[in-house]
């Protein structure tokens, strides 16, 4: 694969092009924007010298930074207040959300009980519910309701793990979208907390986890250093401890992790076999994993190391360990090891690499391999849509779980009655669960199904391919109303992510997308490199020094939509968040002519200082480090903050961030907005800062709805769209 770099050839040329013009006055070129003080700082990285005029905006607790942030947010709120359709947009969204039925997700069996997260609009936060094998919502009972704990809706459940008999459940909760969680032990029968709260168990991006002892007398859990430790250790150096119910958490015993990397991300799992805990340790966010097995007596055996390229592992009740390997198999192969011989060299390949990608483990996805008494269920992805392949315990194929065309399966959960529940998601149908009977081989939809007033009966999804700069074909999932004319007049909203091996899979389109279509728009999701839709090669072609490929892919997608007369640059907008926010910043600084408006949420923009962020070290395995000369060159070549140029006709920009974001430092949005407001040739540049929100995970329903209304009000205004009549 040919590496594509921002078009400069030497470090000296990079430095010359990237110097920020910082002699401008505090008043912004974006008329009406609050004035921003310029206090230039000069940094040298190898042969590169850069000037940073807004270093002072990195200081989160500084009163002057707070005043600046309030002024920016007030300006943005005044802008939205002037838009006649902002309130109708919000009202329409809330009406559709409130009329949407309750939904269940994150299923977890324990004994004869089925636990699930339960979302009941218009309540602000999802709750924890318990059902039986019938999976009948009418029989559901609430175990824990964070809305009752905090009437403001700012306390959220991060995750939960029931004991193996289903009598108790460990629940991590955090406030204000911070994902800074403590674990509470709740009695399932009464809903009351029965043990002391354990702090420092969960934090982004390292996450947090619990695995119960088989008899429910205690559990292994993840723990971070406390406030007595140096600041550079807090929220890093995650380790494993054991807690016995009734004991003082301060006296819990250390188990494992002192030799783990600073950016270790630990997941504990004993779900499929309570006699063993599989500890998966990620080396930051770059896709390297090590695996350990912890037995009930506390014995520890390391099974794989980072260099072994084992990306997921689980233990079944058949006393075998199943591992997803990408060694000489970038799409993945399935290995099997007996528990009495956990030497990886003795593992047997039972499912070789195929055209599909075996999904790895991950923070936001269920287990890729589900082991039952009779079969293996392996979650696979093919370019975006997914499927679940069925094998016997020796790898002989038994077909696939029944699915509609162009669908995704996020969860497969085996029940104690010999059936399985699996989630089904498509673009145009509300999500639901189907039940698969192993004996009959038949599948049927269950009552665990969401209904929505939002209908897409007049809509179709077509899959087309753009050609990137190096010839790579990039899938585009184009959502349009049937009969859409390709005359260049359609407002188009192009969405992408392209990183961390994250898959952009089918999901039910939101009420906001319905409003977009009704206003004449077309919505497009691009499967960019950097994701995992086609395996590790697809990911690696968009990571580290290859990151420019992601931006070229997105640019090619936009150019394709123009060439096919879906739209023109005057009618096209782009949207992305987090790593997708970096994508937005890179694309509009490299190709400001392509879009009329851009929405960039909780994004990363200063690539030379990102690894200094409180959470930035986790990103070095994905983006690289300025300490590596080749990676420094690549980082600087596309760093959005360093490539804003004075007098450029940038698109209208709307950025949003949350002050409690533990994944992406909000300073990126502050600095980038200040730089853009000083440089742009006239289009408005807005920033929204929410003090009760973080990265978006755990935000209350009202915050999410208001943020969505802001996004679409901005897009409607900038693209000259009208609020659709009822």
Query: Dihedrals φ, ψ of 519, to 5°?
Result: -85, 10
Task: Please tell me the predicted confidence (pLDDT) of residue 697.
Answer: 55
Question: Quick one: pLDDT at residue 168?
Answer: 98
**What digits encode the pLDDT tens for the residues 111-130?**
999 999 998 888 889 999 99
In a domain, residue 109? The reply is no
Domain assignment present for residue 542? The answer is yes
Q: Are residues 521 and 670 both part of a single domain?
A: yes
Same domain assignment for residues 681 and 545: yes
Q: What is the pLDDT, as a whole number, of residue 1?
A: 30
Look at residue 11 in the predicted model and tell me its pLDDT: 29
Any domain includes 167: no
Final residue of a domain: which of 240, 273, 308? 308
- pLDDT at position 6 is 25
User: Exposed/middle/buried for 289, CB within 10 Å: 0-12, 13-18, 19+?
Assistant: buried
Q: What is the pLDDT of residues 502-549, one digit of tens each?
A: 888 999 998 999 999 999 999 999 999 999 999 999 999 999 999 999
Residues 641 and 534 in one domain: yes
Q: Give a yes or no: residue 625 inside a domain.
A: yes
Q: What is the CATH number of the domain that holds 714?
A: 3.40.50.1820
pLDDT at position 286 is 79
477 and 604 part of one domain = yes
Asked if 686 and 717 count as a contact pair (C-beta separation under 8 A), the reply is no
Contact 205, 364 (CB under 8 A): no
Same domain assignment for residues 89 and 215: no
Same domain for 83 and 209?
A: no
Residue 559 placed within a domain: yes
Percent of the chain with pLDDT over 70: 93
From 308, 342, 357, the end of a domain falls on 308
Strand-pair category, 459-467 with 442-449:
unpaired
| pLDDT at position 659 | 67
- CA 169 distance to own-chain centroid: 25
596 and 459 within one domain: yes
- The predicted model scores a pTM of 0.88
**Domain termination site, one of 308, 332, 352:** 308
Terminus-to-terminus CA distance in the chain, angstroms?
Answer: 50
The rounded distance, in Å, linking the Cα atoms of 368 and 312 is 7
Q: Do residue 645 and residue 513 come from a single domain?
A: yes
Structure tokens, 462: 């077509």
88 and 203, same domain (yes or no): no
Rounded to whole angstroms, the Cα distance separating 444 from 238 reads 42
Note the pLDDT of residue 20: 39
Instruction: Please give the DSSP secondary-structure letter assigned to residue 358.
Output: E
Same domain, 459 and 603: yes
Residue 288 domain-assigned (yes or no): yes
Q: Give the residue numbers spanning the domain of 647.
A: 11-94+454-718
User: Token digits for 719?
Assistant: 């693209």
Q: Is residue 493 part of a domain?
A: yes
Assess whether 79 and 209 both reside in one domain. Answer: no
Query: Which stretches of the chain drop beneath a pLDDT of 50?
Result: 1-25
Assigned domain for 346 exists: no
Whether residue 201 sits in one domain with residue 58: no
Total structural domains within the chain: 2
How far apart CA 266 and CA 236 sit, in angstroms, is: 11
Q: How far is CA 540 from the centre of its chain?
A: 18
Q: What does the pLDDT read at residue 442?
A: 95
């Amino acid at each position: 694969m040919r590496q594509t770099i921002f078009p400069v050839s030497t470090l000296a040329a990079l430095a010359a092009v990237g110097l920020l013009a910082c002699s401008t006055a505090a008043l912004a070129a974006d008329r009406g924007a609050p004035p921003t003080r310029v206090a230039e700082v000069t940094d040298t990285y190898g042969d590169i010298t850069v000037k940073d005029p807004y270093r002072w905006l990195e200081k989160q607790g500084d009163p002057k930074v707070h005043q600046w942030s309030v002024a920016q947010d007030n300006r943005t709120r005044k802008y939205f207040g002037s838009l006649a359709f902002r309130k109708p947009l919000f009202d329409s969204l809330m009406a559709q959300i409130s009329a949407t039925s309750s939904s269940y997700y994150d299923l977890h069996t324990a004994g004869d009980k089925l636990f699930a997260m339960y979302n009941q609009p218009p309540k602000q936060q999802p709750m924890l519910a318990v059902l039986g094998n019938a999976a009948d919502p009418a029989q559901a009972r609430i175990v824990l309701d964070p809305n009752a704990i905090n009437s403001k809706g700012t306390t959220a459940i991060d995750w939960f793990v029931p004991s193996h008999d289903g009598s108790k459940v460990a629940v991590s909760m955090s406030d204000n979208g911070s994902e800074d969680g403590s674990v509470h032990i709740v009695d399932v029968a009464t809903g009351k907390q029965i043990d002391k709260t354990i702090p420092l168990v969960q934090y982004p991006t390292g996450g947090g986890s619990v695995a119960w002892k088989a008899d429910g007398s205690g559990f292994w859990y993840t723990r971070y250093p406390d406030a007595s430790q140096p600041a550079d250790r807090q929220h890093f150096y995650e380790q494993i401890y054991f807690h016995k119910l009734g004991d003082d958490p301060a006296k819990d015993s250390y188990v494992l992790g002192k030799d783990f990397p600073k950016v270790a991300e630990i997941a504990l799992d004993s779900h499929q076999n309570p006699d063993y805990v599989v500890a998966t340790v990620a080396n930051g966010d770059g896709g390297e994993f090590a695996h350990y097995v912890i037995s009930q007596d506390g014995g520890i055996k390391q099974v794989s190391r980072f260099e072994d390229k084992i990306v997921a592992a689980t233990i079944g009740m058949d006393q075998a360990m199943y591992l997803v390997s990408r060694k000489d198999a970038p799409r993945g192969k399935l290995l099997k090891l007996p528990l009495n011989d956990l030497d990886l060299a003795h593992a047997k390949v039972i499912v070789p690499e195929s055209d599909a990608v075996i999904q790895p483990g991950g923070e936001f996805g269920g287990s890729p391999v589900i082991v039952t008494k009779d079969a293996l269920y392996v979650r696979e992805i093919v370019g975006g849509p997914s499927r679940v392949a069925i094998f016997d315990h020796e790898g002989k194929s038994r077909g696939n779980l029944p699915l509609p065309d162009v669908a995704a399966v996020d969860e497969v959960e085996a029940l104690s009655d010999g059936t399985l529940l699996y989630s089904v998601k498509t673009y145009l149908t509300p999500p639901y669960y189907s039940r698969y009977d192993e004996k009959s081989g038949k599948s049927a939809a269950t009552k665990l199904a969401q209904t929505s007033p939002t209908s897409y009966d007049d809509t179709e999804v077509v899959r087309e391919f753009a050609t990137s700069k190096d010839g790579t074909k990039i899938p585009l999932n184009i959502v349009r109303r049937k009969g859409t004319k390709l005359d260049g007049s359609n407002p188009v909203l192009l969405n992408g992510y392209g990183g961390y091996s994250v898959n952009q899979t089918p999901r039910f389109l939101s009420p906001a997308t319905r409003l977009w279509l009704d206003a004449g728009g077309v919505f497009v999701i691009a499967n960019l490199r950097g994701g995992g839709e086609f395996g590790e090669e697809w990911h690696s072609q968009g990571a580290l020094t290859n990151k420019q490929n992601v931006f070229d892919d997105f640019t090619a997608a936009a150019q394709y939509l123009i060439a096919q007369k879906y739209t023109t640059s005057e009618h096209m907008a782009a949207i992305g968040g987090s790593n997708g926010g970096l994508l937005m910043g890179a694309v509009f600084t490299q190709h400001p002519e392509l879009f009329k408006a851009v929405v960039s949420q909780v994004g990363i923009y200063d690539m030379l200082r990102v690894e200094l962020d409180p959470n930035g070290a986790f990103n070095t395995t994905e983006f690289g480090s300025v300490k590596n000369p080749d990676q420094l060159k690549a980082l600087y070549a596309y760093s959005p903050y360093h490539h804003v140029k004075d007098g450029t006709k940038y698109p209208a920009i709307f950025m949003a961030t949350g002050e409690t974001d533990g994944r992406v430092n909000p300073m990126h949005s502050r600095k980038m907005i200040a730089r853009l407001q000083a440089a742009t040739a006239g289009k408005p540049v807005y920033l929204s800062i929410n003090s009760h929100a973080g990265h978006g995970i755990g935000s209350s329903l009202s915050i999410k709805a208001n943020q969505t209304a802001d996004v679409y009000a901005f897009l409607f205004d900038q693209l000259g769209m009208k609020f659709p009549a009822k």
